[in-house]
Amino acid sequence: MNFDEIIDRRGTNSSKWDKMQAYGGVSPEDGIAMWIADMDFRAADVLQEAVQGLLKTANYGYFASDAKASEAAAWWMKTRHGWEVDPATMTSTLGLGHAIALLLETFTDPGDEVIIFTPVYHEFTAKIEALERVVHEAPLVIRDGIYHMDFDALEAGLTGRETAMLISSPHNPAGRIWTKAELQRLAALCDRHDLLMIADEIHHDLVYPGQSFTPFLLAAPEAAARTFVLTAASKTFNIAGTRQATVTIPDAGLRKRFRHALHVHQTQPNLFGVELTAAAYSPRGAAWVDELVAYLAGNSRLFLDGVNRISGVTAMPMQSTFLAWVDFAGTGMEMEEVLRRVHEDARLVPSVGGFGTGDETFLRFNIGTARPQVEEAVSRLQDAFADLQ
Ligand SMILES: Cc1ncc(COP(=O)(O)O)c(C=O)c1O
């Protein structure tokens, strides 16, 4: 697969490219979109063939079941992550955002506090607040350049109104992979305070060489009765537009309640999501992901090295994901001036704000794109801040 090929997604109804002007004020004519978390690569052949297979049927009526997606997902969890899951405990949703919202709605009440580790994927806060639950922030601390959970501060700050914890594992932004020991401490904390655990593992496949990811339920099988694990092929294979995710709920009672809530809303999965997920979670899909991960690791080295050469700018080391997290605090500039340079001078559109406490001096750059684009972005950033060198 030639990941270096630059695919022009402008004018294709791509959120990242066709909404960049509205979001960041930079024209797609000369700008580079580095915000929304999808990638600019051509889909894997195995996915293209799955779509062709559907085209041949020339019929898009009701389909019998999503079992093939669950079975393929269970195979993937076992072969890629060493995690044995019974496909009967899996349920399809229309993406992870959908799953998170429905889980919160079903298993927590208005006014309940939901613990999240900030800065984190902005939709966590958005969903909690939209449902009139309360965000309980557990700010991450930076040690040795990377994020750590402050377990003592978290436990000391509990109000007793918390009913759930929502984690991004690996963590978006910056791709920190929580260790087995950290996940076990979280499980113990949830047990002590009777919290439900929603483990969002959407980024679990894009793990860099030398790093290893531990699924929450592999680290803490004793937490199964209070845990919901969210996974999808969407980030890994860049099929977020097909809106398919998997919620694994080991506890039969919780699973029944969740399925009832889905049923009430008639939210069955999408035919294309089921077919593409089933095709992706395969040996051919795995080979493609191995190539992709090696490529992303190269992008990450290039981006982090280049950005770290700018005086006062520090990029957090990445263990996974294509979401680089860059701190401009050392420039001494107001964020308004940083953004003016990034938008107007460098013509780049990263993600800004919404990640919660700790995001104030950071911008998130999506490096899931062809390397020449990453090189161009680095060079533009270096030029935009050249007076600081
Ligand atoms: C941690 C995390 N969860 C969920 C999502 C989005 O999932 P979906 O598109 O399936 O709603 C993202 C997208 O960036 C994410 O980073």
Question: What are the residue boundaries of the structural domains of the chain, listed by start?
Answer: 15-44+285-388, 61-282
Please name the residue whose Cα sits nearest to atom 11 of ligand 1: 97
Please name the residue whose Cα sits nearest to atom 4 of ligand 1: 96
Whether the ω angle into residue 119 lies within 30 degrees of 0, i.e. cis, is yes
- State which H helix or E strand residue 55 sits in: helix 45-57
- At 231-267, the pLDDT tens digits run 999 999 999 999 999 999 999 999 999 999 999 998 8
Helix (H/G/I), strand (E/B), else coil: 96: helix
Residues 6 or more apart in contact with residue 334 via CB below 8 angstroms: none
Q: Is residue 1 pLDDT above 90, yes or no?
A: no
Predicted pLDDT of residue 280: 98
Give the distance (Å) from ligand 1 centre to CA of residue 231.
9
Give the distance (Å) from ligand 1 centre to CA of residue 337.
29
Taking the CA of residue 36 as reference, the ligand 1 atom at the shortest distance is 14
Predicted pLDDT of residue 389: 64
- Quick one: pLDDT band at residue 167, thresholds 50, 70, 90? very high
Q: Name the phi and psi angles at 322, rounded to 5.
A: -115, 30
Alpha carbon distance, N-terminus to C-terminus of the chain: 38
Query: Residues enclosing ligand 1, CB less than 6 A?
Result: 37, 95-97, 121, 168, 172, 200, 202, 232, 234, 240, 245
Whole-number mean pLDDT of the chain? 97
- At 103-118, the pLDDT tens digits run 999 999 999 999 999 9
Pocket test for ligand 1, best of 235, 243, 244, 366 (most atoms within 8 A of CB): 235
Mean pLDDT of 201-228: 98
Task: Identify which has the larger pLDDT, 388 or 273.
Answer: 273
Predicted pLDDT of residue 266: 86
Distances (CA, A) of 43 to 7, 29, 129, 269: 11, 24, 35, 21
CATH architecture of residue range(s) 15-44+285-388: Alpha-Beta Complex (3.90)
Mean pLDDT of 28-38: 98
Taking the CA of residue 240 as reference, the ligand 1 atom at the shortest distance is 9
Taking the CA of residue 321 as reference, the ligand 1 atom at the shortest distance is 16
- At 77-131, the pLDDT tens digits run 999 999 999 999 999 999 999 999 999 999 999 999 999 999 999 999 999 999 9
Give the distance (Å) from ligand 1 centre to CA of residue 169.
11
CATH code: domain 61-282 is 3.40.640.10
How many beta carbons lie within 10 A of that of residue 212, not counting itself? Answer: 13
- Quick one: pLDDT band at residue 45, thresholds 50, 70, 90? very high
Q: Name the phi and psi angles at 364, rounded to 5.
A: -105, 125
Taking the CA of residue 232 as reference, the ligand 1 atom at the shortest distance is 10
